[in-house]
Structures are given as C-alpha cells and as structure tokens.
Amino acid sequence: MEKTEAFDHESYQTLLVEYASGTLDEAHALVVATHISLSRNGREQVTRYEHLGGSLLSGCCKPEPMKQDAFTRLMERVEQEEIRARECHEKAQKQCTGKDAMPGCLENYVKKCGKPVWKAKGQGVEVLAMPTRCTHSCARLMRLAPKTSLELRARFFRQTVLVLAGTLTDGKRLFGRGDLAVLDNGAHVIFAADPDDGSLCLLVCRAPKLSDWLRRLFTR
C-alpha cells in the first residue's frame, strides 16, 4: 500500500498556495496550519510559496521615499521577530514531540470549546465542532473507532481531512499522522480507520445550509 501525504496533489498544492497568500477562510486555514505544524514537507512548501509571493510583490511595487532611521527600525523588528519565531518554533516542537500530541494551533480551538461535548454521528463515529466564524465551511474533530468507514464526497465543495492519530486508508493509499487528504473535482472516497487504534481526524467540509436545518426541523 502506498504511503502518501496528499490525495489530490494539484488540489493540495492549490490549498497551500491559498494559505501562503492569506486567502483561506478560517476553517481551511486551521487545517493547513495544523498540517504544516506536523509535516516538514508541508512547511517547506508553504515557505517557498511565501517567498515567491514576496518576490512578486517586490517586482511590481514602485520605490517609496523612507525616513533615515527606517533601516535601523526595520532591523530591530527583524531581530524581535526572529526571537519570537524561535520561541514559537521551540514551543511547537515541544507540543508535537509526543506520538499523539495535539499541535498548539488546534489545541487553542479545542480549549475554546470549554468542556468538549462529542456527538455521536453513526456507529463508531464521534464529532466535535470547532468554533470557527466561517459561513460556507466548518471544521470538526472526528473520532473513528477501529475499522470504521468514513465516506467523503467532494461534489460541489472541497473537502479536507487531516489525520492526527491512527491511520486512514482507501485501500490504495495510507494516511498517517500529519497527512492531509484534499478531495476536489467530484472525488468520492471511502476511507477505513486503523483496524487496531481507529483514527482521530480534523475534517473541513461544507457548513450546513439553512435549508438543511429546516429539513431536519420538519422531519423530526
């Protein structure tokens, strides 16, 4: 079985570009931030896209007059940012050293939930909604019992699933901790959780529409 980091390579790269350019909504930004905190390859690719964006900006912007102390002030800020970045990196390393440790960016959202209330969604599936402010998408932690199936269909909306613990497989590819599956362009996949340990995932999908809520209300 092939070990992979991305289900749809083109859609995965598009997602990283959108993250680097700051155009993702909160739910998708959360799943990518969590992914790159666990994946060295993902971090390196995002860094390259950020550098590319900076190069494009430097090539299209006209020079502007600056104050005489601008360079000194800039270097002071750079030094401060380097110290802050080093501290953040060390903190992230400590948070992610354990086999099942949760990255800080995701842990902050879980803390906002207060006492987590997991909701059962079918046999062997429990869901915890993340408090994002998105209109069209939502982020959810999902616990899958061993051998439980997870069916995803990206008919009209991109779906992403990040493995935090355990594994997921579609029979051809194996996704482990830190691997991100991006489904787009009508993809339809049925994943199976690890037969021994199950799986803990972060899923981003389409947010329920008003019509969905009304249909549930009147069919109770």
80: tokens are 């401060």
pLDDT at 153: 84
pLDDT at 167: 94
Give the model confidence (pLDDT) of 105-137 as tens digits: 898 888 888 887 899 988 899 999 888 887 788
pLDDT at 162: 95
CA proximity to 132, closest of 28, 214, 22, 211: 28
pLDDT at 93: 47
Strand order in the sheet with 173-175: 2-3, 173-175, 168-169, 188-193, 149-153
Task: Show the low-confidence residues of the chain (pLDDT under 70).
Answer: 1-7, 53-63, 78, 81-101, 208-220
pLDDT at 86: 53
pLDDT at 89: 47
pLDDT at 9: 80
pLDDT at 211: 42
DSSP bridge partners of 200? 143, 165
d(CA 126, CA 142): 6
d(CA 88, CA 194): 32
Phi-psi region of 198 (alpha: psi -120 to 50; beta: other; left: phi over 0): left
Q: Which residues, 6 or more positions from 133, have their beta carbon under 8 angstroms from its beta carbon?
A: 26
d(CA 209, CA 207): 6
pLDDT at 219: 45
d(CA 199, CA 98): 16
Map out the domains of the chain with their CATH numbers: 1-220 (2.60.120.10)
pLDDT at 74: 74
Sign of CA dihedral 207, 128, 104, 182: negative
